[in-house]
Structure 1
């Protein structure tokens, strides 16, 4: 196992513990990168101003730089530092915090009515399609547009992975163009939704392209975070039938379960930082051009951060987690993502979906831990 293959391994956590035992920040000569595995090292790297989200010489990946997906990528707040990150965040974050949980729950309930009856297909739709549709609905898109917005978002996120193939990147470019057109049309057809109005007001009239890009970014971040969070929560319930029974008896604990799952088995296992100037972190001097693989999932299981880190504890005091980032790049949509996931999990607990024997593997990814479910054959029932 290595830090890349660990992401989709059935149980990467003993391996992460072995990395922490080697030191919080160590160089991996095989991969040619630094590994930050302890809570202290991860926190230091995420907080350091000279550890950037993109290499200074390559703000947009070469594979997409000349296409529509690259134009969107270059304006995403999550892919920038400094003003190009702070200004969009200041425009987007307040509106997300004003979304009411009751509205999210109502939208989830309405969308569940149109999902497939097949168990595995239903779970896949709950992970990938439904959360994006909820956010697109909050941004003002009509019900008949939601399936298309979810499909286009699924195509666009391929541009965020270095492992994507040429056909996937071509589809991502087309999706970026179509999503931008849909958002531009939505902005020209008042009245616009309260959430969209707050975001538009935050951006002002001077950065229309940045506005469109970061609206697309809201959908793409929802796609990644929600698919893994919902899926890994389902895995936790399927792996512990007593926990499943307890949650059905006390659904008010779903929020605590989600809080613990995102720490214990996070949807995003790692992220990268690129050193732009000489700096010293955790007693190590890093030179410009160095790459740090920031192992968020390992830091979450550091006993210095959370006592008894390998236990899944709903009532964990002072829970701490890096799963949604930290500091200036902490995900502004964490509360919304967890609200959507909570409504989905609550609905699944009320149905027979989780009573069907299911197996899973993990979606091919360099940083995302997203289970894909299959219904087991008859003899497993």
Structure 2
């Protein structure tokens, strides 16, 4: 195991504890990057002005540069710092924060969930994006198309994708752009109208970040829902707890996003360590969540934990703007799955290949 492969390991947490014990910020010679594993180091990296979300010499990955997927990638607020990050965030974040949970619950409840692994996977991977698409004003039929295109598009966000997947991602980006151009021509929802009214940039940047909203929903919600189901599988007594409280501890204890990266723009000192311009820092969010300096009894799963602190949705200027929406969609989906009385013990699972995500995929036993 290494700090990257740990994300999809069955139990990476003892390994994370070992990294924290060695030092909060250390250089990994095989991976040729720094690893921030303690809460102090993670907080320092995420807050440092010289730690950027993309390397200066490669703002868009070479594999997708020059195509529509690259055009979208280069305008995403999560992939930019400064004004290119603040402008779309200031338009989207306030509107997501005030969405009515009852509306989200109704949209989730309207979706068909079958009592098998296929139904669970559909609820995890298709449901959340369809909900976001509906909130933005797409019809149910259009929302299904948006989800399918988003599933293809997210391939451009990982270096694990092959040429066929990258080609599909490029085509998906083109189609998603077209769908949003048509939607913006006559906004069909209060949410989209409010976002558009707040937004001060050009339409292409807005479209890119609406696509980004869908792509972030796709993986983050799937992982949060899936890891919550695994927690219930391991501890059936948790079924008696509030789903909201359960999710709050799952996102700390076994988060869907295990790590992120920062790229050092100028030589500086972080957490007492000198790093140089061009260095890469792997930020182990999941490890920091279990640092005793951040949470008492961090290795225990405590639904009613007091003063819970977590880096799972990021921190500072790049904290996830859709945290409340993600938690709302995930909570509604978990309740719907449990309401169908699916026997979680009859499901096999494995983690989807990823360099930073911890997203289970389920299958029926014997399948």
The TM-score range, normalised by the shorter chain, is over 0.9
The partner residue of 1:291 within 265, 277, 280 is: 280
**SS in structure 1 at match of 2:350:** strand
Tell me the equivalent position of 2:232: 237
Contact 2:259 2:285 in 1 (8 A): yes
Tell me the equivalent position of 2:35: 35
Instruction: With the length of structure 2 as denominator, give the TM-score of the two structures.
Output: 0.98
Tell me the equivalent position of 1:311: 300
Alpha-carbon distance, 1:355 to partner? 4.7
Alpha-carbon distance, 1:359 to partner? 1.6
Tell me the equivalent position of 1:84: 84
The partner residue of 2:221 within 220, 226, 237 is: 226
Tell me the equivalent position of 1:264: 253
Q: 1-side partners of 2:288 and 2:259: how far apart? A: 10
Alpha-carbon distance, 1:187 to partner? 1.1
Contact 1:36 1:42 in 2 (8 A): yes
**SS in structure 2 at match of 1:304:** coil
Tell me the equivalent position of 2:199: 203
Are 1:133 and 2:130 counterparts? yes
Q: 2-side partners of 1:32 and 1:262: how far apart? A: 29
Alpha-carbon distance, 1:189 to partner? 2.6
| Counterpart mapping for 1:11-22 below 5 A | 11-22=11-22
**SS in structure 2 at match of 1:3:** coil
Are 1:153 and 2:142 counterparts? no
Q: 1-side partners of 2:50 and 2:38: how far apart? A: 19
**SS in structure 2 at match of 1:285:** strand
Contact 1:297 1:322 in 2 (8 A): yes
Q: List 4+ stretches of structure 1 deviating above 6 A.
A: none
Tell me the equivalent position of 2:67: 67
Q: Which runs of 5+ in 2 are unaligned?
A: none
Alpha-carbon distance, 1:377 to partner? 2.8
Q: 1-side partners of 2:343 and 2:271: how far apart? A: 44
Q: 2-side partners of 1:355 and 1:220: how far apart? A: 27
**SS in structure 1 at match of 2:262:** strand
Contact 2:115 2:340 in 1 (8 A): no
**SS in structure 2 at match of 1:220:** helix
Tell me the equivalent position of 1:348: 337
Contact 1:119 1:356 in 2 (8 A): no
Q: 2-side partners of 1:356 and 1:46: how far apart? A: 38
The count of aligned residue pairs is 367
Q: Give the root-mean-square deviation of aligned CA atoms.
A: 1.1
Alpha-carbon distance, 1:147 to partner? 1.1
CA deviation string 1:218-242 (max 9, x = no partner)? 1001001101000000000011122
Alpha-carbon distance, 1:356 to partner? 5.3
Tell me the equivalent position of 1:250: none
Instruction: With the length of structure 1 as denominator, give the TM-score of the two structures.
Output: 0.95
Q: 2-side partners of 1:105 and 1:222: how far apart? A: 16
Alpha-carbon distance, 1:286 to partner? 0.6
Tell me the equivalent position of 1:329: 318
Q: 2-side partners of 1:355 and 1:96: how far apart? A: 32
Tell me the equivalent position of 2:347: 358
**SS in structure 2 at match of 1:353:** coil
**SS in structure 2 at match of 1:361:** strand
Are 1:121 and 2:118 counterparts? yes
The partner residue of 1:183 within 174, 180, 185 is: 180
CA deviation string 1:45-69 (max 9, x = no partner)? 0000000000001000000011100
Q: 2-side partners of 1:214 and 1:314: how far apart? A: 34
Alpha-carbon distance, 1:118 to partner? 5.3
Alpha-carbon distance, 1:353 to partner? 1.3
